[in-house]
């Protein structure tokens, strides 16, 4: 049975919820733990707890991790989408010491779980500081990385737009240097799409499907990706709601390989003007990098996996 640990900054962009939904619906997968990062006094952990309780999976170990107040990240606070619109009831925070998250991560690695980090990587850095060398023993998949620009037909984001890396560049550099991770970069995740046409199927997927539809409709109305990206870039559908950044990383972590090409790279990591840059260099740190995917196949896979369950 494959094992996975999710380290997430759920609560902002809804692709974290889409990733968690995929893991919860994936047959035969054991989620050994969930930790939250870029926390604000347990707010994100409270969101995870709500989803776990909603799906009857309250047995999964959960801990709030590194908090913005601890000063690791570029920002002291982050905006959140309107909670009363995104969630059907008020969500109680689940706070706790960051050390609890470190221990949940340690337990997951010691039990052979893949670590899928889909938010800033602060928790992984703190884990490796507490237990030096543990990341070298782990299989680590990072959503993030900016080695090459996106292909024509997709949003031409820059290095500074690589959220998970740039929010905590110290952690990103540490984890890339210590873990030999698999990077699932924005240059490929920007090819994926959650679409308006997916919503009827999700609406049949029980309480979790209802929550996804609710948040997708709010995100669609407030972010306007159909107009901002779908109508502008030929590679994206006109009914785009959001990108499946985090679900794609989790799927690749668990072995989804339709059209996936993974290449070995060595990267020189440099901080310039406050931003981390990853440049191919034979003398750099070794990583693995996803360079190609079949985005249409992934979009269909995610919708089938999440939308086919009755809840």
Mean of the per-residue pLDDT values of the chain:
96
> For 33-43, what is the mean pLDDT?
97
pLDDT at 307 over 70: yes
* Residue 214 token pair: 């609710």
Q: How many CA atoms lie within 13 A of 176 on its CB side?
A: 32
| pLDDT at residue 309, rounded to an integer | 60
Percent of the chain with pLDDT over 70: 99
* Residue 125 token pair: 């850095």
> For 152-167, what is the mean pLDDT?
96
* Residue 171 token pair: 């952690």
Alpha-carbon distance of 165 to 154, in angstroms, equals 20
Domains in the chain, please, with CATH? 3-307 (3.90.245.10)
Taking only the tens place, the pLDDT of each residue in 117-156 is 999 999 999 999 999 999 999 999 999 999 999 999 999 9
Number of C-beta neighbours around residue 243 at 10 A: 24
């Amino acid at each position: 049975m494959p094992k996975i640990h999710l380290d997430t900054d759920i609560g902002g962009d809804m692709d974290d919820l889409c990733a968690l939904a995929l893991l919860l619906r994936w047959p035969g997968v054991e989620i050994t733990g969930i930790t939250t990062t870029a926390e604000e006094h347990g707010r994100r952990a409270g969101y995870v707890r709500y989803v776990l309780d909603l799906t009857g999976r309250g047995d999964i170990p959960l801990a709030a991790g590194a908090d913005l107040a601890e000063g690791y990240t570029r920002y002291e606070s982050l905006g959140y989408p309107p909670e009363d619109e995104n969630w059907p009831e008020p969500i109680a925070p689940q706070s706790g010491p960051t050390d609890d998250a470190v221990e949940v991560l340690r337990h997951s690695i010691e039990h052979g779980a893949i670590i899928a980090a889909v938010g800033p990587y602060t928790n992984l850095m703190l884990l490796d500081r507490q237990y030096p060398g543990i990341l070298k023993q782990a299989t680590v998949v990072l959503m993030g990385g900016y080695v090459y620009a996106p292909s024509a037909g997709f949003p031409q984001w820059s290095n500074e737009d690589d959220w998970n890396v740039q929010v905590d560049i110290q952690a990103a550099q540490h984890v890339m240097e210590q873990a030999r991770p698999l990077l699932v970069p924005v240059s490929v995740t920007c090819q994926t799409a959650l679409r308006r046409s997916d919503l009827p199927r999700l609406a049949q997927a029980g309480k979790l499907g209802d929550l996804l539809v609710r948040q997708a409709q709010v995100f669609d109305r407030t972010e306007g990706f159909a107009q901002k990206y779908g109508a502008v870039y030929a590679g994206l559908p006109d009914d785009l709601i959001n990108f499946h950044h985090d679900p794609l990383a989790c799927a690749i972590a668990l072995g989804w390989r339709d059209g996936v090409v993974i290449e070995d790279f060595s990267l020189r990591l440099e901080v310039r003007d406050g931003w981390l840059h990853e440049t191919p260099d034979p003398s750099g740190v070794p990583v693995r990098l996803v360079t190609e995917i079949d985005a249409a196949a992934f979009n269909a896979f995610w919708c089938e996996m999440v939308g086919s369950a009755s809840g």
